Amino acid sequence: MTHDSSESDSADGTESSPATDSGEKTPAVADGGTDAAGADSVTLDPWGSSTVSDYRKLFDQFGIETFDEVLEEVPNPHYLMRRGVIFGHRDYRTVARAMREDDPFAVLSGFMPTGDPHIGHKLVFDEIIWHQQQGGDAYALIADLEAHSARGLSWEEIDEHARNYVLSLLALGFDPEDGTLYRQSTNREVQDLAFELGVEANFSELGAIYDFDGETDVSHMQSVITQMADILYPQLDSPKPTVIPVGPDQDPHVRLARDLAARVQFFGVTESYASFEAGPEEHALIADAYEVLAERHPDETIRCVDAANYLESEREPGATDATATMLDSTITMLREAGKEPLRPRVRIVDRNATEEAFEALIEAVDGEKRVYDAHIDTFDLSREEAEDVAREVALDHGGYGFLAPSSIYHRFMTGLTGGKMSSSVPASHISLLDDPETGYDKVKSATTGGRETAEKQRELGGKADECPVYELYAYLLAGDDDEFATEVYEECVGGERLCGGCKEQAAELMEEFLDEHQEKREEWEEKLDELDIEFDSPRARN
């Protein structure tokens, strides 16, 4: 994730987060404002400046789901979830289910060692640690190959930063005995997996996703495929739901990893009604026709030609748009299949399987089935059952069994000076290595959402939703204490809290936090040798 920078949400009004377990409400972080309405698309660029002007667009444009929708399914959700800092996800349900049912699951994220770890990175450290504490296999990696190739850092710089990230992660509670820490460059299994995944991805595809062109370094491309391997690495020995906590700028990586996870499988599973292959839209049309006809003639065999006739009758005469064309091609397919009965079935398709594995799959499928050259149609298995059988057979025969990885997305923090939080502007962020007094001073000089005068503040209340100091409370300083976070918020917007005192309190809490954090870092510093991670890169220094 790139936390180098982030942008303030312009708040339009206040919003409350969903009720927490106790039924109380914690003020959520405000939703993206409407003043970005002119810009109608958001770009997610992993190596860009990663500003998100309107988080809501990410839902429509990229199909990221709102976190609110899964919150209830998460046992004891983390405060970043309760407060809406974690605002979106892909497929987190599978991870929440594993947590509830005590099934295996994993969490993994990676850090590009380009500078000091700061309070933006702390969000991700906390997310990894929390999942570990909920029983997940936890992985944290140093993206040194990416830092070297995409950001041009020398190995010497990388070594120093890597050490600092790891120390902060440990100081915040990561358990290295129970979790895995690694560097991309020295993890041979990750490199091998990257190579295999690279077989399924080509240059045009990376170009389209990441805007790569003829000038793009080969090593930069290699770092992308390495990240794909990072994301799937927790499942190398056994498939399990895996969550990747990151900023939304990393979503292109997550989407590609989800795709590759499916592409490298021995088998794919689809649903169908007849022996021929239909695309998703054609499939939907056939499904509609089947449903109507099955209801009309419950005791009769429904044949492809019947469905063709039905769709024909639904077709608007003379129409030539895309829908009509799709309808035509579906009708043609159905006519060609003629008298073949339409029957819902689950199809297991051979993608990369060995002959032996395909034979074993035929054996393993229970109930009625029909075997074709490169697929098997099963009539008694649900989609999930078919996926399970296919995965088991693949794993038994040396294939991968990856489940599509899940992700959760957190908001970028606002800079203390307003605008973006940027690693290159020291006053805009608090480094986890800042002297506690420096941290105190930075909070004291932070921008606020306060009114011009104390009088106005009492009258109108402060704008907590636009206040970087309130963010510090919500994201970090209030910790797990929802009541405290709510109190700060309510007092602020109710005009009972004035910025001077509010900042003093925040500054003191920040000083305490840094003091404690750095003490723990020192304790770990002494034990660092015992860990299974190397900080002196054997690479040429450049």
How far, in Å, are 10, 222, 478, 512 from residue 505 at the CA level? Answer: 25, 47, 11, 11
Q: Which stretch binds ligand TRP (CB under 6 A): 223-231, 292-300, 321-329, 505-513?
A: 223-231
Q: Which residues contact 67 (CB under 8 A, 6 or more apart)?
A: 81, 84, 86, 87, 88, 89, 92, 408, 409
Write out 415-474 in H/E/C secondary structure: CCCCCECCCCCHHHCCECCCCHHHHHHHHHCCCCCCCCCHHHHHHHCCCHHHCHHHHHHH
**Which string of x and - marks every residue 106-135 that binds ligand TRP (by CB under 6 A)?**
--xxxxx-----------------------
Question: Cα–Cα distance between 429 and 424 in angstroms, integer?
Answer: 9
Residue with Cβ nearer ligand TRP (231 or 432): 231
Tell the smallest beta-carbon distance from residue 31 to ligand SF4 (Å).
Answer: 18
| Site membership for ligand TRP, residue 227 (CB under 6 A) | yes
Tell the smallest beta-carbon distance from residue 480 to ligand SF4 (Å).
Answer: 19
The residue number whose beta carbon is nearest to ligand TRP equals 110
Q: Which residues contact 304 (CB under 8 A, 6 or more apart)?
A: 274, 333, 334, 335, 336, 337, 338, 339, 340, 341, 342
**Contact between residue 478 and residue 484 where contact means Cβ atoms under 8 Å apart:** yes
How far, in Å, are 447, 450, 457, 461 from residue 453 at the CA level? Answer: 14, 8, 6, 11
| Site membership for ligand SF4, residue 227 (CB under 6 A) | no
Question: Cα–Cα distance between 369 and 7 in angstroms, integer?
Answer: 55
Tell the smallest beta-carbon distance from residue 506 to ligand SF4 (Å).
Answer: 7
Q: Which stretch binds ligand SF4 (CB under 6 A): 169-177, 303-311, 345-353, 492-500?
A: 492-500
Question: Cα–Cα distance between 476 and 444 in angstroms, integer?
Answer: 16
Residue of the chain from 176, 449, 474, 477 that contacts ligand SF4 (CB under 6 A): 449
| Site membership for ligand TRP, residue 46 (CB under 6 A) | yes
Closest by CA to 234, choosing from 384, 128, 150, is 128
Number of residues assigned to the chain: 542
Q: Which stretch binds ligand TRP (CB under 6 A): 55-63, 102-110, 306-314, 370-378?
A: 102-110
Residue of the chain from 129, 231, 327, 510 that contacts ligand TRP (CB under 6 A): 231
Question: Cα–Cα distance between 374 and 362 in angstroms, integer?
Answer: 11
Residues in 427-466 at the binding interface with ligand TRP, rule: CB under 6 A: none
Tell the smallest beta-carbon distance from residue 80 to ligand SF4 (Å).
Answer: 18
Tell the smallest beta-carbon distance from residue 190 to ligand TRP (Å).
Answer: 9
Exposed / middle / buried, residue 515 (Cβ in 10 Å: 0-12, 13-18, 19+): middle
Q: Which residues contact 437 (CB under 8 A, 6 or more apart)?
A: 511
Question: Cα–Cα distance between 25 and 18 in angstroms, integer?
Answer: 7
| Site membership for ligand TRP, residue 44 (CB under 6 A) | no
Residue of the chain from 64, 108, 229, 469 that contacts ligand SF4 (CB under 6 A): 469
Closest by CA to 261, choosing from 147, 135, 401, 159, is 401
Residue with Cβ nearer ligand TRP (188 or 339): 188
| Site membership for ligand SF4, residue 472 (CB under 6 A) | no
| Site membership for ligand SF4, residue 492 (CB under 6 A) | yes
503 binds, among ligand TRP, ligand SF4, none (CB under 5 to 8 A by kind): ligand SF4
Element (H or E) spanning 171, and its range? helix 155-171
Tell the smallest beta-carbon distance from residue 176 to ligand TRP (Å).
Answer: 18
Residue with Cβ nearer ligand TRP (8 or 227): 227
**Contact between residue 314 and residue 291 where contact means Cβ atoms under 8 Å apart:** no
Tell the smallest beta-carbon distance from residue 538 to ligand TRP (Å).
Answer: 21
Q: Which stretch binds ligand SF4 (CB under 6 A): 119-127, 216-224, 244-252, 442-450?
A: 442-450
Residue with Cβ nearer ligand SF4 (88 or 450): 450
Residue of the chain from 28, 201, 244, 274 that contacts ligand TRP (CB under 6 A): 244
Q: How far apart are the first and last CA of the chain?
A: 24
**Could you count the other beta carbons within 10 Å of the beta carbon of residue 469?**
28
180-183/137-142 β-pairing: parallel
**Which string of x and - marks every residue 500-539 that binds ligand SF4 (by CB under 6 A)?**
--xx------------------------------------
| Site membership for ligand SF4, residue 30 (CB under 6 A) | no
Residue with Cβ nearer ligand TRP (46 or 136): 46
450 binds, among ligand TRP, ligand SF4, none (CB under 5 to 8 A by kind): ligand SF4
Residue with Cβ nearer ligand TRP (1 or 293): 1
| Site membership for ligand TRP, residue 228 (CB under 6 A) | no
Closest by CA to 109, choosing from 128, 93, 129, is 128
- Looking only at Cα atoms, what is the longest distance across the chain? 83
Residue with Cβ nearer ligand TRP (246 or 357): 246
Question: Cα–Cα distance between 271 and 281 in angstroms, integer?
Answer: 12
Element (H or E) spanning 305, and its range? helix 304-314
Which letter, b or e, does each residue of 169-192 get, where b requires 16 or more Cβ atoms within 10 Å of its Cβ?
bbbbebebeebbbbbbbebeebbe
| Site membership for ligand TRP, residue 2 (CB under 6 A) | yes
Residue of the chain from 55, 130, 470, 513 that contacts ligand SF4 (CB under 6 A): 470
Residue of the chain from 448, 486, 518, 537 that contacts ligand SF4 (CB under 6 A): 448
Q: Which stretch binds ligand SF4 (CB under 6 A): 19-27, 361-369, 380-388, 459-467?
A: 459-467
Binding interface with ligand SF4 (CB under 6 A): 448-450, 462-464, 467, 469-470, 492, 497, 499, 502-503
**Binding-site ranges for ligand TRP (CB under 6 A):** 1-2, 46, 108-112, 141, 143, 146, 227, 230-231, 244, 246, 250
